[in-house]
Chain A
């Protein structure tokens, strides 16, 4: 291969590169997005144990507090998850009390807005629930337990299966966040 052939080859490469650039209409350089960045996560520091107040349903139509020491994180979403996990697991010390959510529910998502409204999304009941008592225990068991243990939260709206509901059994207004209601907390 002599120098003339090499020159032609170089010119051709340059022409193709120019053509490619023109085909893009002189657009900015397109950047390929890279994924799979591997970030080494720091070993999480265990949250300090703190006492939480959990409210369980009694047969008198009132919520009864149970104090429990659990590792309680500072971060509000994480804190709500811990409170809900303990609440849904049911009472430990009083066998006559029941979990306020009367079906095997799990917490699907937690949203907290800048005004201190928390939105907790529970799995929907497998069959329709009934009774104002059922509705009050569920709503205020969840709302009060979260607000009493999470200072950043001032009101809680409960979603079911990813949906807002106006009411669960036809009595209580669940279409908006509910604030702390101590009327349903037993005094002793």
Chain B
């Protein structure tokens, strides 16, 4: 009996040789022939020891307030309580944040695998008391997709802008559904982009596919991949009984009659723009002045097209694309300004600035894309040089148009002259004709706001802009 007691005591003592692990509060992480026990921190795990286990260098920068992970050529920067992170120079947005923990920083297992391991070429495989870190990324690198659609007569152009290059195949997999398959990239739809189209019901992403659900009777006409910046343009139209190859130069909009002046009343729909202290909205002022301007120009025999003739929201890129497709003579975007200082007043006119290579590239691509039937594959360095020359000419013409319009505003209205300026405004990007943005006054200034609501003042503004346009076109 005494011996049995002794054996039991000894067995209990022997249990002390087992590692003192509390599996409810820890995970084991194994990598090659090494393993560590990592504390859980709520639903998250300490991140730094796991990265060190791989041989990655993980450091906190007190100055930046960020953690930096270095592994081979890979660099990841992330910060506590921030969803955004930099992965190999690309800004990414996670669905959750890293949090401060006793070991420095803790992340969820999904964050760990998606944002810290996958970019370094690893993934997690579950084992009984934790995870084994295995070579090979589970996630293809993400690619952000910004969709913009423009509805025209019987067709719709869907432009999917990508934040990086990615190989895709576009196919109408079944009637009413287009599948865009990404090669080794996970598409993530940019939820900040408001998307509206009569012919596209929805866009959904799953794994490496993007599905476009079309309205009844609509099908795929053609698609083109474009570069710099990377985009995919998809032409949609009436579904055909049997698929036929897309025509090489499918016109999106057929212009009838003379080349129009395209007038863009700024903002619209949910986007009210600036507002005066009495509630006057920029979208109302710009539409009122635009309609008056259209009537004046039409009375002088000009063809005119408005980008909106009601209270509708329009994507900025759609407005420019419409002008390009109509081969407009000039593009005039009308806006009213706002400042935090109520006394600030006056009118100013902007034309496009190509400061910065990225803007130049965006402009070039937008214009190339807007040429009906253009194909990315057919562009040569000579095309780009010719484009640069053409764009320089357009900028030169835009500056002359801006000077003409601003000159007339100054002369006729006696407004404070804030001059002609250049800025990389989205609505002017990629315009292939002389294009300006006119700020007709400050709604934040009570007396200017009052003036901007008066029909007489609106008519005077429209006449001044029209006179500037005529000065330019009639030269």
Which residues of A does B touch, CB under 8 Å?
1, 5, 8-9, 12-13, 15-17, 20, 23, 27-33, 35-36, 59-61, 73, 75-78, 81, 98, 102, 108-115, 117, 119, 121, 130-134, 136, 155, 157, 159, 162-167, 169-173, 176-181, 183-184
Chain B hits for A169, CB < 8 A: 273-274, 338
B66 located at the interface, meaning its Cβ lies under 8 Å from any Cβ of chain A in the complex: yes
Contacts A131-B337, A136-B423 given: A110-B86 contact, CB under 8 Å? Answer: no
A31 to B38: give the CA distance in the assembly, Å: 9
| Count, A-B residue pairs, CB within 8 A | 218
A170 to B266: give the CA distance in the assembly, Å: 9
A71 to B79: give the CA distance in the assembly, Å: 25
Chain B hits for A23, CB < 8 A: 18
Q: Is the interface of B mostly helix, strand, loop or mixed?
A: mixed
Q: Find the A residue at minimum CB distance from B86.
A: A111
A121 to B275: give the CA distance in the assembly, Å: 27
What 16 new A-B contacts, CB under 8 Å, besides A31-B37, A133-B337, A166-B426? A13-B17, A28-B33, A29-B35, A30-B19, A109-B66, A111-B91, A133-B442, A155-B358, A159-B91, A162-B83, A163-B192, A164-B91, A169-B274, A172-B426, A173-B359, A181-B423
Are A31 and B437 neighbours in the complex by a CB distance under 8 Å? no
Contacts A13-B14, A16-B14 given: A109-B84 contact, CB under 8 Å? Answer: yes
A113 to B35: give the CA distance in the assembly, Å: 32
A150 to B147: give the CA distance in the assembly, Å: 35
- Shortest distance in angstroms between B371's beta carbon and chain A's nearest beta carbon? 21
A114 to B424: give the CA distance in the assembly, Å: 25
Interface centre among A9, A30, A60, A183 (most CB of B within 10 A): A30
Chain A hits for B146, CB < 8 A: 166
Chain B hits for A33, CB < 8 A: 36-39, 46, 49, 103
14 A-B residue contacts at CB 8 Å? A17-B14, A28-B35, A30-B21, A31-B36, A35-B102, A81-B63, A121-B82, A130-B444, A132-B425, A155-B358, A162-B84, A170-B267, A172-B426, A173-B424
Are B102 and A113 neighbours in the complex by a CB distance under 8 Å? no
Chain A hits for B359, CB < 8 A: 173
Chain A hits for B245, CB < 8 A: none
- Shortest distance in angstroms between B155's beta carbon and chain A's nearest beta carbon? 25
B385 located at the interface, meaning its Cβ lies under 8 Å from any Cβ of chain A in the complex: no
B250-278 vs A: 1/0 string, CB under 8 Å?
Answer: 00000000000000001100010111000
- Which of chain B's residues 202-228 have a Cβ closer than 8 Å to chain A? none
B340 located at the interface, meaning its Cβ lies under 8 Å from any Cβ of chain A in the complex: yes
Chain A hits for B357, CB < 8 A: 179
Are A12 and B11 neighbours in the complex by a CB distance under 8 Å? yes
Chain A hits for B167, CB < 8 A: none
Are A157 and B17 neighbours in the complex by a CB distance under 8 Å? no
A40 to B335: give the CA distance in the assembly, Å: 58
CB contact between B341 and one of A98, A115, A178 (< 8 Å): that residue: A98
Chain B, interface size: which category? Answer: 35 or more
B77 located at the interface, meaning its Cβ lies under 8 Å from any Cβ of chain A in the complex: yes
- Shortest distance in angstroms between A126's beta carbon and chain B's nearest beta carbon? 13
Are B423 and A132 neighbours in the complex by a CB distance under 8 Å? yes
Are A133 and B344 neighbours in the complex by a CB distance under 8 Å? yes
- Shortest distance in angstroms between B278's beta carbon and chain A's nearest beta carbon? 15
Contacts A5-B6, A163-B93 given: A77-B338 contact, CB under 8 Å? Answer: no
B10 located at the interface, meaning its Cβ lies under 8 Å from any Cβ of chain A in the complex: yes
- Shortest distance in angstroms between B363's beta carbon and chain A's nearest beta carbon? 10
Chain B hits for A172, CB < 8 A: 423-426
Contacts A27-B35, A28-B34, A33-B39 given: A77-B64 contact, CB under 8 Å? Answer: yes
Are A9 and B7 neighbours in the complex by a CB distance under 8 Å? yes
B154 located at the interface, meaning its Cβ lies under 8 Å from any Cβ of chain A in the complex: no
Contacts A133-B344, A171-B437 given: A119-B10 contact, CB under 8 Å? Answer: no
Q: Find the B residue at minimum CB distance from A183.
A: B422
Which of B302-310, B348-356, B457-465 lies at the interface with chain A?
B348-356
Are A20 and B37 neighbours in the complex by a CB distance under 8 Å? no
Chain B hits for A73, CB < 8 A: 63
Are B437 and A132 neighbours in the complex by a CB distance under 8 Å? yes
- Shortest distance in angstroms between A85's beta carbon and chain B's nearest beta carbon? 13
Chain B hits for A170, CB < 8 A: 266-267, 271, 273, 316
Q: Find the A residue at minimum CB distance from B281.
A: A130
Are A173 and B91 neighbours in the complex by a CB distance under 8 Å? no
A149 to B19: give the CA distance in the assembly, Å: 54
A183 to B420: give the CA distance in the assembly, Å: 11
Q: Find the A residue at minimum CB distance from B418.
A: A61
A17 to B11: give the CA distance in the assembly, Å: 9
Chain A hits for B358, CB < 8 A: 155, 176-177, 179
Chain B hits for A32, CB < 8 A: 19, 36-37
CB contact between A183 and one of B102, B192, B316, B353 (< 8 Å): that residue: B353
A103 to B400: give the CA distance in the assembly, Å: 36
Chain B hits for A17, CB < 8 A: 14, 17
Q: Find the A residue at minimum CB distance from B46.
A: A33
Chain A hits for B274, CB < 8 A: 130-131, 169
Chain B hits for A9, CB < 8 A: 6-7, 10
Are A173 and B429 neighbours in the complex by a CB distance under 8 Å? yes
- Shortest distance in angstroms between A50's beta carbon and chain B's nearest beta carbon? 16
Chain A hits for B425, CB < 8 A: 132, 171-173
